[in-house]
Amino acid sequence: MKKMFIIVAVLFISFLISCGGGEKKADSNSTVSSGEPVTNTDNPSYDPIRGEGKFTDVAIAATLDQAMAIEGEKVYTVKCSSCHKLTDEKLVGPGFTGVTGRHTPEWVMNFATNPDPMINKDPKVQALLELCLVRMPNQNLTDDDARHVYEFLRKNDGVK
Amino acid sequence: MEKNVVAAMVLAIVLFAGFSSCKPKDIGSAVSGDAAAKSYVAPGKYDEYYNFVSGGFSGQMSAYGLPSGRLLRVIPVFSVDPEKGYGFSEETKPMLNTSHGFVPWDDLHHVQMSKTNGDYDGRWAFGNANNTPRVARIDLSTFRTAEIIELPNSGGNHSSPFITENTEYVVAGTRFSVPPDDKNGDVPINTYKQNFKGTLSFISVAKENGKLDLAFQIQCPGVNFDLSRAGKGVSHGWFFFSCYNTEQANTLLEVNASQKDKDFIMAVNWKKAEEYLKAGKGRKQAVRYAHNTYSDVTHSATSEIKTEVIVLDAKDLKEICYFFPCPKSPHGCDVSPTGEYIVGSGKLAALIPVFSFDKLQKAIAAKDFIGDFDGVPILKYESVLYGEVKKPGLGPLHTEFDNKGNAYTSMFVSSEVVKWNIKDLKVVDRVPTYYSVGHLCVAGGDTKTPDAKYMVAYNKITKDRYLPTGPELAQSAQLFDISGDKMQLILDFPTIGEPHYAQIISAELVKNKALKFFKMEDNKNPYFSNGEGATKVVREGNKIHVYMTAIRSHLTPDNIEGIKMGDEVYFHVTNLEQDWDVPHGFAIKGANNAELLIMPGETQTLKWVPDRVGIFPMYCTDFCSALHQEMTGYVRVSPAGSNTPLLFSTGKNYPVSDTAKKK
């Protein structure tokens, strides 16, 4: 019984297709993936210096903001230290030594708060993914958290 | 069957005709077999509705998407669920506590969505435990059971958990009348008439947070309360309960409770009951019942035993309860969208009586009584009756409504759903179900404003509908498109357990409330590890508390030594992830208890009592990342009395090995 309906359905669908039922068919069948989008390295709109996210222009003083760095260390301890050491040794992700020299503050803060799109687009991140094999989790840092962690990373890199 | 084959062939011919001409003018009218298209939801697309379905004897509730029939989640309510650790983790065990102790398996029959102004508001779902009487509230932001309250003076909580139009109360009517809990229950069973009472429980629901409270109970004559519905609109303030076994039989009910030509529907004026309650007319009764709540902040449940309930007596306190006759052993008593009509479904009756709320009020005012039943007045059938649906089918059980003035009644014996018009009481359509339909539900079918696009029939028997699976077969739901004049079957899908009542709610009301993860900042579990730096292993006598964290892709600590035979080990695992859809699991070899599944930001505890000396592997059971297979660890168990030091680490390699020492 069911088989019969399936045959009918298949015939019907093939009939629709054979008639070229509508030019938009292919379009309406395509779906937007909300999960892990496909890798796309040559996205012209992507800015590899700034990364992708809400931070466009972060003002950084020449000297360290101690209060921010202390707050940043607290966030680091709970949400980052499982995977990132403060040395240059790789744990799950790369060690943090020198990270403020390798990337702009905007890039670091965007990556910390918006990792998934950057994992899909950023050439540096993609190279790291091949090495680490774990996509950096979104730990839902607030904007302030991200700024504080960045200040802590500056401290870790020797800024006084 | 034969008929269907013919229908399919006709359909095929119609389609072939269309094929040859290759110019479909109007696909909708050409094809009555567009069922596949109607129930098809493309991969990656959302369903339009949630269907919350009772799991019957499984004790759980399930959430399906409609029209696809996709099973989205089994929500553990009244039974343990190893998939989620419910009833196995130390934090969730108290949810299943009762005055009888831990009850691991119950029977959930009916589902109700919370309402505001008579329409679903998408805040909570409620379910009833039919065996050990309880009512549960499910939080629709977490799809988890948030609260369970036990009901004293009750046996078989069947006419439950039906709710009033602003979720003021959830009711629970006892199916089995029993001697009240504060009376000596050690009486001969055949003293039913003297000693057994029926109890209706009114559980209030706090507006802001849904908190349940057993506000009062109404003690009624001993009968079987079967189903119930709140009045709405014009009948708001009233509740209606179907009653069978007005014969008050205590044995062979199949025969002895089917003697009378008419049983009753009981109309309850709960606003009046509230007045008596306020006036202090209630009697405080000593009872014992459990009230369990789950906190999303401590990630754990607490169970409290309460010892008092206020009881109002239906016999002494006039104008709360009235009986009106209803043929014959009524099951469903359902209230139309306006609240004016009450449909009784006598499961042994050959007609469907429809009662009028307006006439009910007039009959009460005129004291149009034909007598009383254990002190509760009985109204005259004809004075309350609006009319009867003649020859609707066999074995009417339940009725739901659409927005066009139609009612849909399930017919168990004749295996069909019958659509009839509420005003003129004429049958307008009927459609077979496969087989023996019990409950049915229309989208919004018990609200003031049904949206009436779909109707689902929940069948008791499936026989030849699915691939056979031994003696126990899949239970089934059948989805009908009811947007047109004719009901059209568009999908069969299997369900968990036995589907009794279910409700269909627009996805818009629920989906945007979904909680994505628990914030670590808010975690108040006493064994929470706030980051890996906070992990530790603490010995308290023979109890070992392991404060553990899980993040892609390692456990901390992942090497633990110094556990000894005779120890009880508690793994308190905190998932450090702060993103959606990243649970971690936890299992250790030989655990008699189960495993854990820990949501991001949550702390859950597994108790483990090692039964032998040796090395025990532990690991994450939920594939979390490319290095999930590496997310493992070991626990060393030493003999009792040995002096192995308590050591724990990740990536440290304690203790320094002998070979390293020699260098």
Q: Which two tokens stand for residue A94?
A: 């790369």
Q: Which two tokens stand for residue A102?
A: 């390798």
For residue A82, give the CATH number of its domain: 1.10.760.10
Please measure the distance between the N-terminal and C-terminal CA atoms of chain B and give it in whole angstroms. Answer: 83
Provide the pairing of β-strand B427-432 with B437-442: unpaired
Q: Which two tokens stand for residue B483?
A: 């947007």
Q: A62-69: list long-range contacts, CB under 8 Å, 24+ apart.
A: A63/A159, A63/A160, A64/A151, A64/A154, A64/A155, A64/A159, A64/A160, A65/A151, A68/A147, A68/A148, A68/A151, A68/A152, A69/A148, A69/A151, A69/A152, A69/A154, A69/A155
Measure CB to CB from residue A79 to each of B4, B556, B578 and give the nearest one.
Answer: B578
Measure CB to CB from residue A133 to each of B8, B517, B627 and give the nearest one.
Answer: B627
Burial of A120 (0-12, 13-18, 19+ CB in 10 A): buried
| CATH superfamily assigned to domain B83-222+282-316 | YVTN repeat-like/Quinoprotein amine dehydrogenase (2.130.10.10)
pTM of the model: 0.87
| Closest C-alpha among B339, B259, B532, B482 to residue A84 | B532
CA atoms within 13 A on the CB side of A51: 26
How many other C-beta atoms lie within 10 A of the C-beta of residue B261? Answer: 10
All residues of chain B having their beta carbon less than 8 Å from the beta carbon of residue A81 are 531-533
Show which residues on chain B lie within 8 Å of chain A, measured between beta carbons: 1, 4-5, 8-9, 11-12, 15-16, 18-19, 22-24, 31, 33, 35-36, 42-45, 517, 519-520, 530-533, 549, 551-554, 556, 576-579, 582, 625-627, 651
Q: Which two tokens stand for residue B518?
A: 């628990």
Q: How far apart are CA B113 and CA A129, in angstroms?
A: 45
Please measure the distance between the N-terminal and C-terminal CA atoms of chain A and give it in whole angstroms. Answer: 79
State the residue range of the domain holding A77: 65-160
CB B633 within 8 A of CB B658: no
Please give the tally of structural domains in chain A: 1
Q: Which two tokens stand for residue B428?
A: 């307008």
At B177, the pLDDT band (50, 70, 90 cuts) reads very high
Give the residue from chain A lying closest to B532, CA to CA: A82
All residues of chain A having their beta carbon less than 8 Å from the beta carbon of residue B44 are 31-34
Question: B578 and A4: CB-CB below 8 Å?
Answer: no
Share of chain B above pLDDT 90, in %: 87
Measure CB to CB from residue B552 to each of A8, A16, A134 and give the nearest one.
Answer: A134
All residues of chain A having their beta carbon less than 8 Å from the beta carbon of residue B16 are 11
In a domain, A107, yes or no: yes
Sign of CA dihedral A88, A94, A96, A101: positive
Question: A29 and B42: CB-CB below 8 Å?
Answer: yes
Q: Is residue A31 predicted with pLDDT exceeding 50?
A: no
Per the prediction, chain B carries an average pLDDT of 93
Q: Which two tokens stand for residue B148?
A: 């369970």
Q: How far apart are CA A156 and CA B13, in angstroms?
A: 77
Identify from A27, A78, A91, A133 which residue to disrupt to test chain B contact, counting B C-beta atoms within 10 A and taking the largest count: A78
Q: Is residue A44 predicted with pLDDT exceeding 80?
A: no
B461-482 burial, b at 16+ Cβ within 10 Å, e below that, comes to bbeebeeeeeeebebbbbbbbb
CB B214 within 8 A of CB B206: no
CB B247 within 8 A of CB B260: yes
Q: Which two tokens stand for residue B421?
A: 């018009």
Amino acid at residue number B89 = S
At B4, the pLDDT band (50, 70, 90 cuts) reads low
What is residue B5's three-state secondary structure?
helix
Q: How far apart are CA B616 and CA B637, in angstroms?
A: 8
CB B425 within 8 A of CB B410: no
Q: What is the pLDDT of residues B253-275, one digit of tens each?
A: 988 888 888 999 999 999 999 99
In a domain, A124, yes or no: yes
Q: What is the mean pLDDT of residues B97-126?
A: 98
Provide the pairing of β-strand B321-326 with B330-335: unpaired
All residues of chain B having their beta carbon less than 8 Å from the beta carbon of residue A31 are 42-45
Q: What is the pLDDT of residues B372-402, one digit of tens each?
A: 999 999 999 999 999 999 999 999 999 999 9
Measure CB to CB from residue A138 to each of B1, B24, B578 and give the nearest one.
Answer: B578
ipTM field: 0.72
Task: Tell how far CA B455 is from the center of its chain.
Answer: 19
CA distance A81 to chain B (A): 7
Check if B83-222+282-316 and B520-662 are the same fold.
no
Show which residues on chain A lie within 8 Å of chain B, measured between beta carbons: 1, 4-5, 7-9, 11-12, 15-16, 18-19, 21, 29, 31-34, 77-79, 81-83, 91-92, 133-135, 137-140
Q: Is residue B26 predicted with pLDDT exceeding 50?
A: no
CA distance A108 to chain B (A): 18
Q: What is the pLDDT of residue A133?
A: 87
Q: What is the pLDDT of residues B125-167, one digit of tens each?
A: 999 999 999 999 999 999 999 999 999 999 999 999 999 999 9
Helices A66-75 and A143-156, packing angle to 10 deg: 110
CB B497 within 8 A of CB B56: yes
Q: What is the mean pLDDT of residues B331-335?
A: 96
Question: B22 and A19: CB-CB below 8 Å?
Answer: yes
CA distance A148 to chain B (A): 16
Tell me which DSSP letter residue B599 carries: -
Question: A92 and B43: CB-CB below 8 Å?
Answer: no
Q: How far is CA A153 from CA A75, A78, A123, in A?
A: 11, 15, 22
Q: What is the pLDDT of residue B422?
A: 97
Q: Which residue(s) pair with B112 in the sheet?
A: B126
CB B95 within 8 A of CB B110: no
Q: What is the pLDDT of residue B512?
A: 95
At B625, the pLDDT band (50, 70, 90 cuts) reads confident
User: What secondary structure does DSSP assign to A72-120, as a single string?
Assistant: HHHHIIIIITTTB-SSS-BSSS---TTHHHHS-HHHHHHHHH-HHHHHH
Measured in degrees and rounded to the nearest 5, phi and psi for residue B461 equal -130, 135
Identify from B19, B34, B517, B624 which residue to disrupt to test chain A contact, counting A C-beta atoms within 10 A and taking the largest count: B19
Q: Is residue B347 predicted with pLDDT exceeding 60?
A: yes
Q: What is the pLDDT of residues B529-580, one digit of tens each?
A: 999 999 999 999 999 999 999 999 899 999 999 999 999 999 999 999 999 9
Question: B12 and A15: CB-CB below 8 Å?
Answer: no
Question: A77 and B4: CB-CB below 8 Å?
Answer: no
Identify the CATH assignment for B520-662 out of 2.60.120.10, 3.40.50.1010, 2.60.40.420, 3.40.50.1000.
Answer: 2.60.40.420
In a domain, A82, yes or no: yes
Name residues whose C-beta falls within 8 Å of residue B660's C-beta, 6 or more positions apart in sequence: none
Measure CB to CB from residue B42 to each of A11, A31, A134 and give the nearest one.
Answer: A31
